[in-house]
Amino acid sequence: MNINSYIEYSQEVREARKTGKAIVALESTIISHGMPYPQNVKTAREVEDIIRSKGAVPATIAILNGKIKIGLSHEELEYLGQATDVIKASRRDIPYILASKKDGATTVAATMICAELADISVFVTGGIGGVHRNAEVTMDVSADLEELAVTNVAVVCAGAKSILDIGLTMEYLETKGVPVLGYGTESLPSFYTRSSPFSVNYKVETPEETADILKAKWDLGLKGGVVVANPIPAEDALDENEMNRIIERALNEAEEQGIAGKEATPFLLGKVKELTDGKSLTANIALVKNNAHIGADIAVHYAKLAKVESF
Ligand code: PSU
Ligand code: MN
């Protein structure tokens, strides 16, 4: 058995692997289930271009026709953005999708798994899954958190959304030994807004400092990921009180309609977008792009550390 028989690299990523250039992983659930067409595809392309402009190579990850794709072509991205039967793929879904040669859009958890298989250490997205509100009854805890506990990939995001129980999410990450770094902030960003009532574990100021932390963690064999929480730019942030009200409404509707399991997060994201008249989508796009800048810088510095080591 050869793991590589399951994986296909884009030309650009293949070359970057050969030359040791920094590579940044990107997820695809955000494309298929997180944003509507055509904004999803446009954003995905712009995010890739930001990463290129920073001297790194983007690797958008998805499962297409039973292969793990590391880096997507324009056509593949377009397909993923429009198709309606793509499976939201987290850890548990990967084997079925591969074996049945279906298509899957990878969540944070699944993207981390695929990134690690492809030796990619830095991954940029919008928000991670977490412990849902009322999880003490529903047991709805995103597989993203368990993945952060065991898979060696840094996830650059804009923190956790308040559709989640942010406090319980932080407790879970603490139990699992996952460092949560605030990029230029002491307060944990909460996606649409720059702060939350919760503190990050450590504030970092530069990509160098962040890359050094990743290196120390993995040099010691301390398995698992790192969350780099980067606040949404001030000019794109939404009003906290208004967002809390809207999120409460979305949560109530989800409960009334009995939405559970893997449908919960996409349902809530969709409702929030509807209730904000699309303002949440604009904010979401802005924060992902902002994360791409930081993530690419971190990846470039981390790749430099790896190069120094190999001399
Ligand atoms: N949060 C967002 N946008 C997203 C997601 C989460 O703000 O698109 C997606 C990510 O792919 C994440 C997944 O990994 O939802 C989590 O789903 P679940 O809660 O079912 O694990
Ligand atoms: Mn869930």
CATH number at residue 157: 3.40.1790.10
The phi, psi pair for 45, rounded to 5°, reads: -70, -40
Distance 19 CA to ligand 1 centre (A): 32
Positions of the chain with pLDDT lower than 70, given as ranges: 311
Q: What is the pLDDT of residue 311?
A: 62
The closest ligand to the CA of 62 turns out to be 1
Of 30, 168, 232, the residue with max ligand 1 atoms within 8 A of its CB, to mutate for a pocket test, comes to: 30
Ligand 1 atom nearest the C-alpha of 105 is: 11
Domain of residue 194: give its range: 3-310
Q: What is the pLDDT of residue 272?
A: 95
Say how many domains are in the chain. Answer: 1
Give buried/exposed letters for 42-52 (b at 16+ CB in 10 A, else e): ebbbebbebbe
Helix 279-310 vs helix 39-53: crossing angle, to nearest 10: 30
Distance 18 CA to ligand 2 centre (A): 37
Q: Tell the residue nearest (CA) to atom 1 of ligand 1.
A: 127
Q: What is the pLDDT of residue 122?
A: 99
Q: What is the pLDDT of residue 104?
A: 98
What pTM does this model have? 0.98
What's the one-letter identity of residue 203? K
Q: What is the pLDDT of residue 90?
A: 98
Q: Are 109 and 130 in contact (CB under 8 A)?
A: no
Q: Tell the residue nearest (CA) to atom 21 of ligand 1.
A: 142
Distance 301 CA to ligand 1 centre (A): 27
The whole-angstrom separation of Cα 43 and Cα 27 is 12
Catalytic residues: 27, 161
Ligand 1 atom nearest the C-alpha of 191 is: 7
The whole-angstrom separation of Cα 106 and Cα 44 is 14
Q: What is the pLDDT of residue 309?
A: 75
The whole-angstrom separation of Cα 295 and Cα 183 is 11
The closest ligand to the CA of 138 turns out to be 2
Residue matched to tokens 């298989």: 117
Q: What is the pLDDT of residue 308?
A: 78
Distance 285 CA to ligand 1 centre (A): 15
Residues 181-186: contacts with CB under 8 Å, at least 24 apart? 181/210, 181/213, 181/226, 181/227, 181/228, 181/229, 182/229, 183/156, 183/210, 183/228, 183/229, 183/230, 183/231, 183/294, 184/230, 184/231, 185/229, 185/231
Distances (CA, A) of 57 to 15, 18, 44, 105, 195: 10, 12, 13, 20, 30
Question: Which residues does ligand 1 sit against, CB inside 6 Å?
Answer: 27, 29-30, 34, 90, 107-108, 126-127, 129, 142-144, 161, 262, 265, 269
Ligand 1 atom nearest the C-alpha of 110 is: 14
The whole-angstrom separation of Cα 187 and Cα 11 is 40
Q: What is the pLDDT of residue 211?
A: 98
Dig out the tokens for 238 from the structure.
């939404």
Of 142, 265, 271, the residue with max ligand 1 atoms within 8 A of its CB, to mutate for a pocket test, comes to: 265
The closest ligand to the CA of 31 turns out to be 1
